[in-house]
Amino acid sequence: MADISFVCPQCNQELEAPTELAGDIVECPSCETQLEVPGAEVSQPAEPPSEAPNPSSYPATPSVENACSNCKKTMEVGAVLCLKCGYHAKLGKTIDTSFE
Ligand SMILES: [Zn+2]
Ligand SMILES: [Zn+2]
């Protein structure tokens, strides 16, 4: 069982305390400051819990491809008007999109 080595923050005196005194208040023999004995092997920070995103919580990529039936250009899902050729899926014809 090794002693706990620590340094007095007041006078920088190197101190040692038995591990049983970890967390206890001791008096620095050099400057008589009351110090808390640090816990043994405190240099191991607790690892934060890994917050791995649950892949199943992700919305599945829509498998339905929306493509223009006129020019076969892939369109945004839900879009009815092809921005490439001006074909309107609902109307079933190419419309002039250059109107103001
Ligand atoms: Zn001291
Ligand atoms: Zn098109």
pLDDT at site 49: 75
Question: Side chain identity at 40, as an amino acid letter?
Answer: A
Cα(91)–Cα(39) distance, integer angstroms: 76
Q: Which domain holds residue 10?
A: 4-36
Q: Give the domain CATH number at 19.
A: 2.20.70
Tokens of 28: 């620095």
Ligand 2 centroid distance, CA of 68 (Å): 5
Ligand 2 centroid distance, CA of 64 (Å): 17
Closest ligand relative to 28 C-alpha: 1
25 neighbors 8 (Cβ within 8 angstroms): no
pLDDT at site 35: 93
Say which residues have a Cβ less than 8 Å from residue 32's Cβ, sequence separation at least 6: none
Q: What global pTM score does this model have?
A: 0.38
Tally of domains within the chain: 2
pLDDT tens, residue by residue, 14-59: 999 998 999 999 999 999 999 999 986 555 666 777 777 666 666 6
Ligand 1 centroid distance, CA of 45 (Å): 26
- In this structure, what DSSP letter does residue 46 have? P
The number of angstroms, rounded, from the C-alpha of 35 to the middle of its chain's C-alpha atoms is 37
Q: Given a cut of 80, is residue 68 above it in pLDDT? A: yes
Ligand 1 centroid distance, CA of 1 (Å): 24
Task: Work out the pLDDT band at 12, boundaries 50, 70, 90.
Answer: very high
Closest ligand relative to 94 C-alpha: 2
Asked whether residue 59 is domain-assigned, the answer is no
Calculate what percentage of the chain has a pLDDT beyond 70. 75
Asked whether residue 44 is domain-assigned, the answer is no
31 neighbors 10 (Cβ within 8 angstroms): yes
Asked whether residue 25 is domain-assigned, the answer is yes
Query: Across residues 56-74, what is the average pLDDT?
Result: 76
Asked whether residue 77 is domain-assigned, the answer is yes
Asked whether residue 81 is domain-assigned, the answer is yes
Q: Given a cut of 70, is residue 85 above it in pLDDT? A: yes
pLDDT at site 42: 52
Asked whether residue 54 is domain-assigned, the answer is no
Asked whether residue 42 is domain-assigned, the answer is no
Closest ligand relative to 32 C-alpha: 1
Asked whether residue 69 is domain-assigned, the answer is yes
